[in-house]
């Protein structure tokens, strides 16, 4: 076993997902099937090989710091589940 | 009038010669949609009213004696993970079921500048995660060649619409084969451009270092024309390539004499369907007969590509999809506190495949596993890319199958995600390496399902791909075959 029920519960927590008890087993099995297959990868010797996160030789892409028109506030809020006085509204975070 | 089964370049000429009007063409497509969409289910949203207005404007332009450009008045569709201002963009997810983008993707702006008729938004695997369009949160799309089969995916709606005659052309997106494989399954031409050739601005991100937008069309000529519209640098996408896009239609020439074509033996995998192998080998023989030189090459890291791809793609997805938290847009499910709200929103509104990938990616990035999985996958990505670099020192293009099998039955693979992932063996190395790949029809299986040939090019080598694909296409009749569903009843 590469990944246990406990691991799955932990990644679910990190991912802000709630997995019903009945489904934990299924996900554990499916993730294991992949990770066991990916063993082929972890056994490959890659000493001295640079990682490629991105295929283009791009570093930081800069632009001039100029004020330009941006999205209208009303439009930016138009898809918000909840809004108030021009702000996104979320459930209370702080106590008191 | 049965205009729905013609390619865009034929319809463009008919418009110019005043044989048809854009409104007649749009109405012909509406009639076709009414006739077959109930079976195919390629669409998520239809935009008929706007489409008709666009068609009328084109007719007025023609009546004024003005010239029209290639896609003007030609009906097309856009995959529903590409943002369209004022038109719902759902990603086939309950999370974005009611999301109306406040802006257009750059490709949509570029399209709008040439007045096509946009008929609507097409179905996909949720957030483009899948290869069969069965992972749509709404309904699966059916293959017009056999409605019991999948159309491929994730751009299954875009491919099925063109194959069914409910659109003339379409845009898809390709992270691990999602343009090329559905094009192959539906008997069409699909191009994944070089990473950075087409702007990703406004494409809902799945795996940012792999995603590219590209066309799905009836033939290579239409593919070149659509590329002329969508390719090019975009200041809104910092990963777009700052190089001028060529006129791709200049590559529509029948000539492969002296072209060096590499045949990577690792792509002819064990368990490959016999009909697929026969069709692909037959196509290679044809290219040789047309004057190309066939060179066997070895790409030894191909067998590691699926593992590396799924680790990298899911790691990027887990990060990209963290934004769906019920705050600024998308669905919200109320909870006892804010964290409970995050969890309930994400658990109820993401489908199973999306959750599986988020968890796999989170695991690969988590403390203790980062080096063994994510970092190792990035190192293997380098090796896969080097295989391409080395091959392209010897050859101009590579030719391979698109998928190990033709389209399979709906439901056949849904219970086994790993089996589904293995289907991507021929397409994911192309995304890992950032090179362009095209799918062009090259035959049929014994039971009549289309088979695609993949041609892979050097970075920014789209012109050679188009030339090779065009030469092959014009020496065959595959692109003229019409899906059985498409025959006028």
If phi over 0 gives left and psi between -120 and 50 gives alpha, with beta otherwise, what is residue B448?
left
The CA-based diameter of chain B, rounded to the nearest angstrom, is 70
Query: What's the ipTM?
Result: 0.95
Q: Which domains does chain A have, with CATH numbers?
A: 1-45 (1.10.20.60)
Per-10-residue mean pLDDT of chain B, 489 residues long, equals 93 98 98 97 98 98 96 98 98 98 98 97 98 98 97 98 98 98 98 98 98 98 98 95 96 97 93 96 98 97 97 98 97 96 98 98 94 96 98 98 97 91 96 98 97 98 98 96 71
Q: With contact defined as beta carbons under 8 Å apart, do B80 and B126 qualify?
A: no
Beta pairing, strands B260-264 & B293-297 = parallel
To the nearest whole Å, the CA of A74 is away from the closest chain B CA by 10
Domain borders along chain B are 8-262+393-486, 302-381
Q: Which residue has the higher pLDDT, A95 or B22?
A: B22
Q: With contact defined as beta carbons under 8 Å apart, do B216 and B171 qualify?
A: yes
Residues, chain A = 96
B392 close to A (CB below 8 A): no
- Token pair in block for residue B264: 């990577």
If phi over 0 gives left and psi between -120 and 50 gives alpha, with beta otherwise, what is residue B152?
left
| DSSP per residue, B347-369 | HHHS-HHHHHHHHHHHHHHSTTT
B328 close to A (CB below 8 A): yes
Q: Which superfamily, per CATH, for B8-262+393-486?
A: Amidase signature (AS) domain (3.90.1300.10)
Q: What is the pLDDT of residue B487?
A: 52
Q: With contact defined as beta carbons under 8 Å apart, do B40 and B141 qualify?
A: yes
pLDDT digits (tens, 9 = 90+) for A66-80: 999 999 999 999 999
Cα–Cα distance between B356 and B341 in angstroms, integer?
Answer: 20
Q: With contact defined as beta carbons under 8 Å apart, do B364 and B239 qualify?
A: no
pLDDT digits (tens, 9 = 90+) for B294-308: 999 999 999 999 999
B385 catalytically annotated: no
Among chain A residues, the shortest Cα distance to B460 is held by A56
Of B239, B362, B372, the CB nearest to A14: B362
What secondary structure, in 3-state letters, does B193-211 show? Answer: CCCCCECCCCECCCCCCCC
Interface contact B376-A12, CB threshold 8 A: no
Q: What is the pLDDT of residue B489?
A: 43
Q: If you average pLDDT over every residue of chain B, what do you get?
A: 96
pLDDT digits (tens, 9 = 90+) for A1-43: 789 999 999 999 999 999 999 999 999 999 999 999 999 998 8
B175 CA to centre of own chain: 9
Cα–Cα distance between B468 and A27 in angstroms, integer?
Answer: 44
From the candidates B93, B132, B136, B154, give the one annotated as an active-site residue: B154
Upper half-sphere CA count for residue B19 (Cβ side, 13 Å): 8
């Amino acid at each position: 076993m590469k990944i246990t029920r406990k691991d799955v519960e932990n990644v679910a927590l990190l991912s802000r997902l709630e997995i019903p008890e009945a489904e934990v087993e299924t996900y554990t099995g499916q993730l294991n099937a992949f990770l066991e297959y990916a063993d082929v990868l972890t056994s490959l010797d890659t000493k001295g090989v640079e990682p490629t996160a991105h295929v283009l030789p791009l570093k930081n892409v800069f632009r001039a710091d100029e004020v330009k028109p941006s999205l209208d506030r009303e439009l930016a809020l138009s898809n918000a589940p909840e809004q108030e006085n021009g702000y996104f509204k979320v459930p209370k975070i702080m106590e008191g | 009038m049965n205009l729905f089964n013609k390619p865009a370049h034929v319809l463009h000429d008919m418009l110019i010669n005043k044989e048809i009007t854009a409104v007649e063409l749009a109405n012909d497509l509406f009639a076709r949609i009414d006739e077959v969409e109930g079976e195919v289910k390629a669409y998520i949203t239809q935009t008929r009213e706007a489409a008709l207005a666009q068609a009328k404007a084109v007719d007025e332009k023609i009546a004024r004696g003005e010239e029209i450009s290639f896609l003007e008045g030609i009906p097309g569709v856009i995959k529903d993970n590409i943002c369209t201002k004022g038109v719902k963009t759902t990603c086939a997810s309950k999370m974005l079921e009611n999301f109306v983008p406040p802006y257009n993707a750059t490709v949509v702006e570029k399209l709008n500048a040439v007045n096509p008729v946009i008929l609507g938004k097409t179905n996909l695997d949720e957030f483009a995660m899948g290869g069969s369009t069965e992972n749509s949160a709404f309904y699966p799309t059916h293959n017009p060649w056999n409605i019991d089969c999948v159309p491929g995916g994730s751009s299954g709606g875009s491919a099925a619409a063109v194959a069914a005659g409910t659109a003339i052309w379409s845009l898809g997106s390709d992270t691990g084969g999602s343009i090329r494989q559905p094009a192959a399954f539906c008997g069409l031409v699909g191009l994944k451009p070089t990473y950075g050739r087409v702007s990703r601005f406004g494409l809902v991100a799945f795996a940012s270092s792999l995603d590219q937008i590209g066309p799905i069309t009836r033939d290579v000529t239409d593919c070149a024309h659509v590329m002329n519209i969508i390719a090019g640098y975009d200041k809104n996408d910092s990963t777009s390539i700052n190089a001028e896009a060529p006129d791709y239609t200049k590559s529509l020439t029948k000539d492969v004499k002296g072209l060096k074509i590499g045949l990577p033996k690792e792509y002819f995998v064990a368990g490959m369907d016999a009909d697929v192998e026969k069709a692909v080998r037959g196509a290679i023989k044809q290219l040789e007969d047309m004057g190309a030189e066939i060179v066997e090459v070895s790409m030894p890291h191909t067998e590691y590509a699926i593992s590396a791809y799924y680790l990298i793609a899911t790691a990027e997805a887990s990060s990209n999809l963290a934004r769906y938290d019920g705050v600024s847009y998308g669905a919200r499910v109320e909870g006892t506190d804010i964290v409970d709200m995050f969890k309930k929103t994400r658990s109820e509104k993401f489908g199973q495949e999306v959750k599986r990938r988020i968890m796999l990616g989170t695991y690969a990035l988590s403390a203790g596993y980062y080096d063994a999985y994510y970092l190792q996958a990035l190192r293997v990505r380098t090796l896969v890319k080097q295989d391409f670099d080395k091959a392209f020192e010897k050859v101009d293009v590579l030719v391979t199958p698109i998928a190990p099998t033709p389209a399979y039955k709906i439901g056949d693979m849904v219970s086994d995600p790993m089996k589904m992932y293995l289907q991507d063996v021929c397409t994911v190395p192309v995304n890992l390496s950032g090179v362009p790949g095209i799918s062009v029809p090259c035959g049929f299986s014994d039971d009549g399902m289309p088979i695609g040939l993949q041609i892979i090019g050097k970075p920014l080598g789209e012109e050679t791909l188009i030339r090779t694909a065009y030469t092959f296409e014009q020496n065959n009749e595959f692109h003229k075959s019409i899906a059985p569903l498409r025959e006028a009843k």
